[in-house]
């Protein structure tokens, strides 16, 4: 009997500020590289993070994952830390520029812990997508993923 594999996506929202700046670069190079995003006072976004998981559809519940479990994890591991935060002050970005590309990679690291938990041994993290603005979105498929 073959197992049915499904993909499940869930969106989470948080607001945060940041400043794109590299200490090793001069003020002029930072301004030329990051433009208005290098504002010394920072700026903010209303981010939308979409996590996509795949796995077998449970024969009893009909679900890939329990939505309540995922929501509790996201609240504890993402929203409590990132919502209304200055991303530049978070430990995760001590050695990384707070670009949304890097936020995407960090979200992958966080949500991979959910997918690798003992409660969901057959669930796989497929994708992280972050909308930074109505015009900018970023996707990450994990290290070593082929360009799609």
By annotation, the residues acting in catalysis are 37, 84, 132
Helices (H), 1-148: 27-34, 67-74, 80-82, 100-115
Q: From the CB of residue 9, how many other CB atoms can be counted at a distance below 10 Å?
A: 12
Give the residue from 107, 96, 97 showing the smallest Cα distance to 130: 107
- H-run or E-run covering 7: strand 5-18
The Cα 25–Cα 137 span in angstroms is: 26
- Three-class secondary structure of residue 58 per DSSP: coil
What's 75's DSSP letter? I
Q: Is 25 helix (H, G, I), strand (E, B) or coil?
A: coil
> What is the distance between the alpha carbons of residues 137 and 28, in angstroms, rounded to a whole number?
27
């Amino acid at each position: 009997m073959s197992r049915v594999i499904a993909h499940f996506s869930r969106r989470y929202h948080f607001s945060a500020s940041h400043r794109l700046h590299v200490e090793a670069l001069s003020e002029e190079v930072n301004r030329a590289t990051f433009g208005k995003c290098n504002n010394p006072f920072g700026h903010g976004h209303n981010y939308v993070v979409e996590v996509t998981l795949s796995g077998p559809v449970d024969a009893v519940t009909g679900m890939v994952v329990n939505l309540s479990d995922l929501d509790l994890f996201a609240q504890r591991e993402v929203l409590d830390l990132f919502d209304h935060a200055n991303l530049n002050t978070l430990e995760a970005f001590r050695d990384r520029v707070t670009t949304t590309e890097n936020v995407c990679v960090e979200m992958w690291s966080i949500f991979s812990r959910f997918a690798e938990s003992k409660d969901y041994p057959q669930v796989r993290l497929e994708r992280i997508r972050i909308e930074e603005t109505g015009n900018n979105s970023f996707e990450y498929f994990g290290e070593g993923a082929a360009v799609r």
